[in-house]
Amino acid sequence: MEKLLSVKKIVVGNQQVKILRDISFEVKEKEIVSIVGESGCGKSMTLRTIIKLLPKNLEILSGEIYFDRIEIRKYNEMEKIRGKEIGMVFQEPSSYLNPLFTIGNQIEESIKENISKKEKKEKIVNILKEIGLSPNVYYQYPHQLSGGMQQRAMIAMSLINKPKLLLADEPTTALDVTTAFGIINLLKNLISKYGLSIIFVTHDISLARYISDKIIVMYAGMILEKGNADLVYNKPLHPYTQKLITCLPEKYKKGEKIRTIEGEVPSFKNLPIGCPFSPRCEYRQKLCEEKIPEEIEVDNRIVRCIRYGNFMEN
Amino acid sequence: MKKILQRLKKRNYISFISLWIIVFLYFLAIMADFIAPYPYNKQFRDYPLCPPTKIHFFDHNKKFHLRPFVYEIKLVNPALNQYEIIEKICPIYFFVKGEKRKILGLFPSTRYLFGTKQGKIFLFGTDMHGRDIFSRVLYGARISLSIGVIGVSLSFFLGFLIGGISGYFGGRIDNILMRLVEIFMMFPAFYLMLALRAVFPLNLSSFQIYLLIVVILSLIGWAGLARIIRGMVLSIKEEEYILAAKALGISTFKIIFKHIIPNTFSYSITAITLSIPGYILGESTLSLLGLGIQEPFPSWGNMLSVCIGNLRILSNAPWMLIPGFFIFLTIICFNFLGDGLRDILDPKNW
Amino acid sequence: MRRYILNRLFQFIPLLIGMTFISFLIIQISPGDYFTQLKMNPEISPETIENMRKLFGLDKPVIIQYFYWLKNIFSFNLGVSFSYHVPVSFLIKVRLKNTIALSIFSIFLTWIISIPLGIYGAIKDKKIQERILSFFAYIGISLPGFFIAMLVIFFISKTAILPLGGTTSIFYENASNFEKFIDYLKHLLVPGLILTLSGIGSLYRLMKNNFLETLNSPYIFTAYAKGIPTYKIYFKHALRNAINPMITIFGYELSGILSGAGLVEIITGWPGMGRLVLEGVLSFDLYLVMASLLIGGILLILGNLLADILLALTDPRVRLR
């Protein structure tokens, strides 16, 4: 399969803080890649970096992003790519949809093809049906829809131009479980139908395994482990991933004490000099606190931990 | 308090300066007896509508004088209020002797901050009765500046009482009180102010009028404050620690005074600062229209009233507008200060 | 939509009743009544006064008096002005027209100027252009309306480019309708501009803050992510959302405009309601003052109703519940 997106050694931040450090990963055609991590670890920033919509005070400091042979960092006509080649759906559809315009209107304005109004409407009604909404939704305003319907409308909006890549930023977190599963299954079906790749951001690693081919585990703006979804889930290598998985509710026996990861996520203003996870890690060595470990390939995946190899030279 | 000042200085320098300007204005008002070169009602009949006196260091021979001086002036054309300089040098002295006055109404004194031994010094010119506008601005500041503070205290008391009751008890009481607030807010303030003034006779003593203005302005101002405080109390009431206090059986009285009122403090400070300009404006408006402070007592508002519909005075003696600049200065300083305080007292900005 | 408006109308009824009651109360607490002054007038016979007393129910208890008064109010009988010796309603009719013209003129001008400025300020946030605009806005907010009026009049008295005072020129009687209209507009210009100047600052600041806040909202991010051009994001998505809160405060703003208009009318000599109230207060013409107060309140209620309707038209969340 061909590479669709490749992110190489991206650093995002400003003079004071680095929000993303040394981020590299690839997305192939028709592949689902999940980015997993606690809130504030830089998952959403990674998505925003890909379509170059960072907050005003942040910028890409170094690295390269290739999408379909375009180097995004140097590319100046992002408006041609956003919505057309790369679609995006968000966590809370209720606030990410403009309350003052109908769903039809909001989908229509994202259509990039030069076709008549009637054709546009036909197109929208078709996609609404496909996504499991009644054509009537075309005339409705966001506040008249339920959360699940809003999210479906959002997906319809992002798929209207048949993009190659869909960025999904925790699309199911704000929904209740049954609605969420409806959305997950919908996304899975769409991949085969549209020939689409998805980057799926979530904090739920078991959901990530269910939906995706590949899992990327992020912590404090860094990738700690990435590889085949089943492999990462069943045989995690990095101490952080291991902790994440042993803390999952389904891993408990009845009456067992609740396990947590001790300590707190470091703030971006006060990052450890060495491995970001070192203050909370039980295998911590002296070297861990001094140098950031390099990414190395172990057991068919990439891990950033001293236990499996060497430190980065810096 | 010191902390607040430091933070203000660091985050918002303009509002820090504004605070000091306000303090300075209040100082001028309090010390008016000492700083003003003339009493507020002293009429110099020979100097009607005299332009502001220029202070010189160089005389007409270009000779430098270390002690600043003014020239004596003389009215040459009474019809057109034209003055001519007589080349007689009148030096300015500090702590000059003058008529006996009581400073702060307590300490009799015959010496004032500055003045001339011969000639006259009118820093801001004179009005048509030949009264020194600078002195009158200082005395007027006493009324204009104090009415804002007293008025806001009274409305705040009312606002706190009614807004607090409404927000804390809710239900029917809240409903009735809020309708009342809405009714008061539905009258345009200017009309309500004049209507309330109309209830009382026009010729009252100046003290009665002062009190009347305070009462009228508070009757207009309480409604908005009550609504804001009600909203604040409503949101604090829902906070977990209040629910906890209630669950622990702490008395209503204690909850209100120990938990709710202190939590509205930082907001109240800001709201008070930002509503003072409204009271200053209200007083000046009433006095400007001849319904407030009466002559010969000066207030910044009534000093401007000759400018209404009197184009000749406006165009020939623009210094008559100076009290307006003082109103503007005070209001802009309070606005800057209020914005600065809101900025630093908001916990989100810490 | 219709239900929403009816609902709002319904909510205004207790307000209206409360307002009449407070107006009535103010007359009641004032020393003496309307007739104490009339009695001093030798031209009016005691019988006439006694008849009028009965008409107003002044020989009955206070509550009954209120209902008498209310009945009179609803038949637009607002009493007789004893300084003008004509019905108050007649006086108000003439002046109300001028006040409404002045208010609408300046509201229109204020919005037309401050909304684009607000958008510009928000787009240039924290840059030099925005700092300058905001500085002037600050001055505008802090300058008292009457002081702006005096400064403008001072300027005009030096240049004499615009007419000042009254609503018409001397040639008015012989002019054509169109010339009459232009003449009226010319006279409206000075008070209108003064009122506009004193209103732009706060409206600009409001619009700027709204627009900024809207630009930071998630749906604007969605629009960017959809690849919509920036100008379209500003003028379609952000503008509509930023204007809605402005409509909400329209009623509140109208209160300020009516108050400001009253004062500006007095200073510039524009014969509107503001001057009428002042004349009423100065001549102790209580019925005139109360009627003006009531009319001012009713104008505000109508303004709020208008704002509610406008909001329902622009915001589907209000319209379709």
C250-268 vs C177-215: helix axis angle to the nearest 10? 140
- pLDDT > 70? residue B227: yes
Give the total number of structural domains in chain C. Answer: 2
Interface of B with C in 237-276 (CB under 8 A): none
Higher pLDDT among residues B217 and A286, named by residue: B217
Q: Both C248 and C142 in a single domain?
A: yes
Tell me how far apart the alpha carbons of residues C96 and C169 are, in angstroms, rounded to a whole number. Answer: 20
Mean pLDDT of B68-83: 80
Mean pLDDT of B77-95: 80
What order do you get walking across the sheet with A59-67 strand by strand?
A18-28, A3-13, A59-67, A70-71
- Cβ separation C147–B328 shorter than 8 A: yes
Half-sphere exposure of B195 (CA within 13 A, CB side): 31
Which range of residues forms the domain containing residue C59?
Answer: 22-77
B249 Cβ contact list (under 8 Å, min separation 6): none
Highest mean pLDDT: which range of A104-108, B77-81, B112-116: A104-108
Which residues in chain C land under pLDDT 50? none
Tell me how far apart the alpha carbons of residues A303 and A239 are, in angstroms, rounded to a whole number. Answer: 10
C3 occurs within a structural domain: no
- pLDDT > 60? residue A132: yes
Mean pLDDT of B244-249: 82
**Pair of tokens at residue A227:** 């590889």
pLDDT at A309: 65
Q: What is the percentage of chain B residues whose pLDDT exceeds 90?
A: 28
> Pick from C154, C286, C297: which is nearest to B198 by CB?
C286
- Cβ separation C222–A99 shorter than 8 A: no
pLDDT at C37: 61
Q: Both C64 and C113 in a single domain?
A: no
Q: Is B101 helix (H, G, I), strand (E, B) or coil?
A: strand
Task: Give the pTM.
Answer: 0.87
pLDDT at A313: 43
Please identify which residue in the block is written with the tokens 């559809």: A93
The b-or-e profile of C60-99 (16+ CB within 10 A means b, else e) is eeeeebbebbeeebeeeebbbbbebeebbbebbeebbebb
Tell me how far apart the alpha carbons of residues C103 and C258 are, in angstroms, rounded to a whole number. Answer: 7
Band of residue A312 on the pLDDT scale cut at 50, 70, 90: very low
- pLDDT > 90? residue B17: yes
pLDDT at A119: 93
Higher pLDDT among residues C140 and A175, named by residue: C140
- pLDDT > 50? residue B79: yes
C233 Cβ contact list (under 8 Å, min separation 6): C220, C223, C224
Band of residue A88 on the pLDDT scale cut at 50, 70, 90: very high
Q: Choose from A45, A102, A109, A136 for mutation: most chain C CBs within 10 A.
A: A109
C206 occurs within a structural domain: yes
- The single-letter DSSP state of residue A261 is -
Please state whether beta strands B56-58 and A301-303 pair in parallel, antiparallel, or not at all (unpaired). unpaired
- pLDDT > 60? residue B30: yes
Band of residue A314 on the pLDDT scale cut at 50, 70, 90: very low
**Pair of tokens at residue A45:** 């920033």
Q: What number is the ipTM of this complex?
A: 0.88
Q: Is A87 helix (H, G, I), strand (E, B) or coil?
A: strand
C87 occurs within a structural domain: no
Residue among B281, B270, B40, B18 nearest B147 (CA): B281
- pLDDT > 60? residue A125: yes
Band of residue B349 on the pLDDT scale cut at 50, 70, 90: low
Residue of chain C minimizing CA distance to A102: C316
- Per DSSP, the residues of B275-343 read HHHHHHHHHHHHHHTTSSSPTTS--HHHHHGGGTT-HHHHHH-GGGGHHHHHHHHHHHHHHHHHHHHHH
**Pair of tokens at residue C104:** 């609408």
Chain A CB contacts of C227 below 8 Å = 78-84, 110, 112
Mean pLDDT of B29-39: 87
Chain C CB contacts of A83 below 8 Å = 225-228
How close C314 comes to chain A (CA, Å)? 8
C221 occurs within a structural domain: yes
Q: Both C185 and C249 in a single domain?
A: yes
Class of domain B139-349: mainly alpha
Chain mean pLDDT for chain B: 85
- The single-letter DSSP state of residue C280 is H
Chain C CB contacts of B186 below 8 Å = 15, 19, 255, 297, 300-301, 304
- pLDDT > 50? residue A194: yes
C10 occurs within a structural domain: no
Chain mean pLDDT for chain A: 88
What order do you get walking across the sheet with A197-202 strand by strand?
A86-89, A165-169, A197-202, A32-36, A214-219, A222-228, A301-303, A296-298
Cα–Cα distance list, B125 to B85, B115, B259, B303, B315 (Å): 14, 14, 54, 13, 14
- pLDDT > 90? residue A89: yes
Asked if the peptide bond before residue B296 counts as cis, ω within 30 degrees of 0, the response is yes
Question: Domain coordinates of chain B in residue numbers?
Answer: 38-131, 139-349
Q: Choose from B194, B212, B310, B327 for mutation: most chain C CBs within 10 A.
A: B194
What CATH architecture is A3-85+163-235?
A: 3-Layer(aba) Sandwich (3.40)
Residue among A78, A57, A56 nearest A67 (CA): A78
What is the identity of the amino acid at B179? R
pLDDT at B75: 82
Cα–Cα distance list, C66 to A209, C17, C58, C70, C277 (Å): 77, 11, 9, 6, 22
Q: For chain C, what's the residue count?
A: 321
| CA dihedral sign, ordered C242, A79, A25, A14 | negative
Residue of chain C minimizing CA distance to B224: C252
Tell me how far apart the alpha carbons of residues C159 and B295 are, in angstroms, rounded to a whole number. Answer: 32
Mean pLDDT of A184-190: 87
**Pair of tokens at residue C161:** 């480019």
- Cβ separation B183–C139 shorter than 8 A: no
Please state whether beta strands A3-13 and B64-77 pair in parallel, antiparallel, or not at all (unpaired). unpaired
Please identify which residue in the block is written with the tokens 């590889």: A227
Neighbours of C18 (CB within 10 A): 17
pLDDT at C57: 65
**Maximum distance among all Cα pairs of chain A, rounded to whole angstroms:** 67
pLDDT at C172: 64
Tell me how far apart the alpha carbons of residues B70 and B88 are, in angstroms, rounded to a whole number. Answer: 8
